[in-house]
Amino acid sequence: MANAKATRQYGVYDPWLFYTTFTLVGLGLLMIFSATAQSSNGLFYLRRQVLFVIVGTVFMVTASRIPYRCWKKLAVPFMVVTLALVIATLFPVIGHKIKGASRWIRIGGFSVQPTEFLKIALVMLMAASLSKKAENVRKFEIGVVPHLILLGIIAIAVIRQPDFGTVVILCAVTWIMLFLGGARLLHIVGPLVPLAIVLALFVTGEGYRMARIKAFMDPWAVEKNGGYQVTRSLMAYGSGGITGKGLSNSELKLKHLPECHTDFIFPILGEELGLIGVLSALGLYVLLLSRGFLAAMRCPDMFGCLLAVGICAVIGLQIIINLAVTMGILPPTGLTLPLMSYGGSSLLCTMTGIGIVLNVAREEPHVR
């Protein structure tokens, strides 16, 4: 019996989840190379991303070997540290500004974005809290109020950076986990009205956010101003056709589509690899998330289930929002595409999260 348990914990893992992750990472490296090879920086971005992939692989493999129940004890200190780092970015001495947003901390020659770690920290703390409360989750003052207070504190810090896209992710994940954790539907639907009002006031309170909304409503009308990036993104998708123009043959990447190696890497994929490439990449993402949610469903305890669901929800929501932005369905938010966009913090946190889900999957007696 002991041998069987050891086999479940240390010998079995989900190969579909593991290899799909590296297929997406490899595709991301290929597209980053294609998007930046002809720029003045040459192979700079590719070399750095390869370094991030190596470190991310170490993080993912290590996380997959750490029993996921250990994160239950570390949830509070991890939240305290990550929230402190987010608050630290608001101070000019510590925070590093890029394009008016103070979201990064410079360490050596690299920039670390603490909000990426904060997403994982919130999932861990929510999973630990909801699994501990058990049936008391159905009481509004116990199951919902403390989590909304925590979310409010976090949201205030993140909005100050500002990072509206991350706030949306954090709010959505909180509601998803409350629902799956057993909170009453009325208790989690009721606070949505004041939350929507607060977010609306936040958006209308700044001129540049309203400009983004106007550009989103009709990007072609303000093509030379706020709608430039979205219109070029749509042109990239449209010009790719069924089979694409071929790898490295994108025309829009040549100074026509800003941030084409970060937030808008998927339109370059669409232009070069066409509809076939787009559907293939989407299929890989669907496979990745389905294996993660399957691991959550099979997990024998509530904490592991909520932990896997929360991590997959963070990744899935970021995928949906990023693709919606590049297709003009949502206003620009600055969220990267998980596993594919250039960026160290996003890649490291995503791969670490997948490592945790892999460990949850190890609890399954058989992975098919």
pLDDT tens-digit readout, 228-239: 778 888 888 988
The yes-or-no verdict on residue 314 having pLDDT over 70 is: yes
First to last CA, the chain: 22
* 179 touches 138 (CB < 8 A): no
Which of the four pLDDT bands, split at 50, 70 and 90, describes residue 3? very low
Which of the four pLDDT bands, split at 50, 70 and 90, describes residue 335? confident
For 244, the domain range is 7-361
The yes-or-no verdict on residue 286 having pLDDT over 80 is: yes
More confident residue, 158 or 228: 158
pLDDT in tens, 193-216: 787 777 777 666 666 666 666 666
Average pLDDT over residues 107-128: 90
* 164 touches 171 (CB < 8 A): no
Q: Give a yes or no: residue 321 inside a domain.
A: yes
CA distances from 192 to 126, 148, 157, 220, 277 (A): 18, 11, 20, 33, 38
Give the tokens for residue 313. Answer: 């929800």
Q: Give a yes or no: residue 152 inside a domain.
A: yes
Q: Give a yes or no: residue 367 inside a domain.
A: no
Question: What pTM, to 2 d.p., does this model score?
Answer: 0.89
CA distances from 342 to 4, 72, 103, 266, 278 (A): 41, 31, 16, 11, 18
Give CA–CA dist 210/206, Å, rounded.
7
Q: Give a yes or no: residue 2 inside a domain.
A: no
Which of the four pLDDT bands, split at 50, 70 and 90, describes residue 220? low
pLDDT in tens, 319-331: 999 999 988 888 8
Give CA–CA dist 365/300, Å, rounded.
11
Q: Give a yes or no: residue 1 inside a domain.
A: no
Give CA–CA dist 103/119, Å, rounded.
14
The owner of tokens 């997406």 is 24
Non-local CB neighbours of 199 within 8 Å, separated by 6+ positions? 167, 168
pLDDT in tens, 101-112: 678 788 877 788
Count of domains for the chain: 1
Q: Give a yes or no: residue 368 inside a domain.
A: no
